[in-house]
């Protein structure tokens, strides 16, 4: 039978404040506890900043938030590793400041920003979003960030601009996965301009009130909650307004499996598995996957008249 974790029976904010408290007494008790439990061969845990209490314990559909620990220790980030549990450790010394983000292409005011300045320049807010990975797992994450539209309005796309192209940093000496010749680095993603301007589309700078850690795409990453997680590109250094639809890293690797739109759709299976359901990390049951990941009201109009099977 499945064991019930304390985080499942305790509301998250109480659980979090209890954790804060436990850290205090933990420092005193660690020696004794380790001695008593005898689990000494484990690697020391990575030291995480203490999460701050988010505004709610669940998303608007009632799905519980994932813990800060889960969100920061189970990551897809191929620049570091294909092993989700190894990413946090491999990324822990990755430098995220200073960090330049260049915004250009078909815009009237091209500009280079420092990521640290971006969060002061635009008003950062909390957004609790579901993240649905194309692999069939999901999380609920309290992000901090600002709408991408705020940045795009400042650089003023010209009438010719139809798409936004995003690029991750290329730093193979610090990102061992970028030495893997199987993928065409750097990681590239793209959105249609109206998708980019939708209010849900976020440039995230934090989680649980803390600056984004490297494993989550710090210092700045995209979050597009109605699309499969691979669209939410991490560690962005370049944003270009372009006329042609960008070719993403995943389209270049396997276009028949990972399309440009990649809207969450339970009715369109991935060629190798069903997308009808998902497992929220921390749970063992599967939940039904929702069209547009539950954000249809906000975004379905963007695709009116399009055959969503064809334009996967
Ligand atoms: N961005 C970059 N640069 N490299 C990646 O490997 N993985 C994507 C996306 N962004 C990825 C990326 C995938 S597949 C997912 S599901 C999410 O990041 C995972 O985000 P998380 O680790 O913060 O949960």
| Per-residue model confidence as pLDDT tens digits over 287-310 | 999 999 999 999 999 999 999 887
pLDDT at 19: 35
d(CA 243, CA 157): 11
Let me know if 271 is exposed, middle or buried by CB neighbors in 10 A (0-12, 13-18, 19+): exposed
Instruction: Return the pLDDT at 35.
Output: 34
Structural contact between residues 242 and 106, judged by C-beta atoms closer than 8 angstroms = yes
Specify the residue with its C-alpha closest to ligand 1, atom 17: 229
List the residue whose alpha carbon is closest to atom 6 of ligand 1: 77
CA atoms within 13 A on the CB side of 39: 7
Residues of the chain short of pLDDT 50, as ranges, are 1-42
The per-residue b/e assignment along 204-216, b for 16 or more CB within 10 angstroms, e otherwise, is: bbbbbbbbbbbbb
Neighbours of 310 (CB within 10 A): 9
Ligand 1 pocket: which of 77, 221, 264 to mutate (most atoms within 8 A of CB): 77
Choice from 175, 217, 253, 282 to test ligand 1 binding pocket (greatest atom count within 8 A of CB) = 217
What number of other Cβ atoms are within 10 A of residue 17's Cβ? 11
81 Cα–ligand 1 center, Å: 11
The three-state DSSP-derived secondary structure of 77-99 is: ECCCECCCCCHHHHHCCCCCCCC
pLDDT of amino acid 235: 99
> pTM, whole model, 2 decimals?
0.87
Cα 228 to ligand 1 centre (Å): 10
Look at residue 224 in the predicted model and tell me its pLDDT. Answer: 99
The pLDDT value recorded for residue 46 is: 83
CA of 97 to the centre of ligand 1 (A): 20
CA of 75 to the centre of ligand 1 (A): 7
What pLDDT, on a 0 to 100 scale, did the predictor assign at position 44? Answer: 61
Return the residue whose CA atom lies nearest to atom 9 of ligand 1: 230
- Residue 309, pLDDT score: 81
CA–centroid distance, residue 76 to ligand 1 (Å): 5
The ligand 1 site (C-beta within 6 Å) comprises 75-79, 131, 133, 168, 187, 216-217, 229-230, 232-235
The third-level CATH classification (topology) of the domain covering 6-310 is Sulfite Oxidase; Chain A, domain 2 (3.90.420)
What's the 29 CA to ligand 1 centre distance in angstroms?
36
Distance 28 CA to ligand 1 centre (A): 37
CA of 1 to the centre of ligand 1 (A): 32
Select from 46, 207, 27, 244 the least CA-distant residue to 127: 207
Which residue among 206, 229, 235, 275 is best mutated to probe the pocket of ligand 1, counting the most ligand atoms within 8 A of its Cβ? Answer: 229
pLDDT of amino acid 226: 98
Contact residues for 193 (Cβ-Cβ < 8 A; gap 6+)? 157, 161, 162, 163, 164, 241
């Amino acid at each position: 039978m499945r064991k019930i974790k304390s985080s499942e029976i305790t509301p998250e904010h109480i659980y979090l404040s209890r954790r804060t408290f436990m850290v205090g007494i933990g420092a005193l008790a660690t020696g004794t506890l380790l001695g008593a439990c005898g689990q000494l061969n484990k690697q020391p845990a990575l030291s995480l900043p203490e999460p701050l209490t988010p505004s709610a314990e669940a998303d608007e559909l009632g799905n519980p938030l994932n813990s800060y620990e889960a969100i920061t220790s189970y990551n897809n980030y191929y620049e570091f590793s294909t092993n989700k549990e190894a990413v946090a450790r491999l990324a822990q010394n990755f430098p995220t400041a200073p960090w330049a983000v260049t915004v250009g292409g078909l815009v009237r005011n091209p500009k280079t920003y420092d990521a640290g300045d971006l969060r002061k320049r635009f008003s950062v807010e909390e957004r609790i979003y579901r993240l649905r990975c194309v692999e069939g797992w999901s999380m609920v994450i309290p992000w901090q960030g600002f709408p991408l539209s705020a940045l795009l309005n400042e650089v003023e796309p010209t009438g010719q601009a139809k798409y936004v192209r995003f690029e991750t940093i290329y730093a193979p000496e610090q990102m061992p996965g970028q030495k893997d010749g199987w993928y065409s680095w750097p990681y590239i993603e793209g959105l249609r301009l109206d998708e980019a301007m939708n209010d849900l589309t976020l440039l995230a700078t934090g989680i649980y009130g803390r600056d984004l850690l490297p494993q989550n795409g710090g210092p700045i990453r995209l979050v597009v909650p109605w699309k499969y997680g691979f669209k939410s590109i991490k560690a962005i250094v370049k944003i270009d307004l372009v006329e042609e639809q960008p070719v993403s890293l995943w389209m270049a690797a396997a276009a028949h499996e990972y399309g440009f739109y990649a809207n969450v759709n339970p009715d369109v299976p991935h060629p190798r598995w069903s997308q009808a359901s998902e497992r929220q990390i921390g749970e063992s049951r599967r939940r039904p996957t929702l069209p547009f990941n539950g954000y249809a009201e906000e975004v379905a109009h963007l695709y009116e008249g399009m055959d969503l099977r064809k334009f996967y």
